[in-house]
Amino acid sequence: MLKLDEPKQALAQFEATLKKEPGRFRALYEAASAAQLSGEREEAQRYFRELLKVSARADSPGRPEILEAKNAVSRN
């Protein structure tokens, strides 16, 4: 859905995935991205914070998604 430029529908799909499988790295990242593209800033922040929680023990420098999440949360 994100590739089809339908971020609100994509967000709904990622939220459904996260209900069934909480804490999934990719679903959290994509939900945050979809929320940002939908203009849902607070929701994007919430998903980015959760992504940072589940990846707290990740190797440094880490994945680019983690850096993006850190940057998004620090701008708040």
User: CB of 55 within 8 A of CB of 23?
Assistant: no
pLDDT tens digits for range 19-75: 999 999 999 999 999 999 999 999 999 999 999 999 988 876 678 999 899 999 987
Query: Up-side HSE of residue 68: CA atoms within 13 Å toward CB?
Result: 13
* Distance separating alpha carbons of residues 65 and 25, to the nearest angstrom: 9
Residues in the chain: 76
What architecture (CATH level 2) is domain 7-74? Answer: Alpha Horseshoe (1.25)
Structure tokens at 18: 């996260």
Instruction: Give the model's confidence band at 3: pLDDT under 50 very low, under 70 low, under 90 confident, else very high.
Output: low
Q: What does the domain layout of the chain look like in residue ranges?
A: 7-74
Whose CA is closest to 72, among 43, 45, 39? 45
The pLDDT score that the predictor gives to residue 26 is: 94
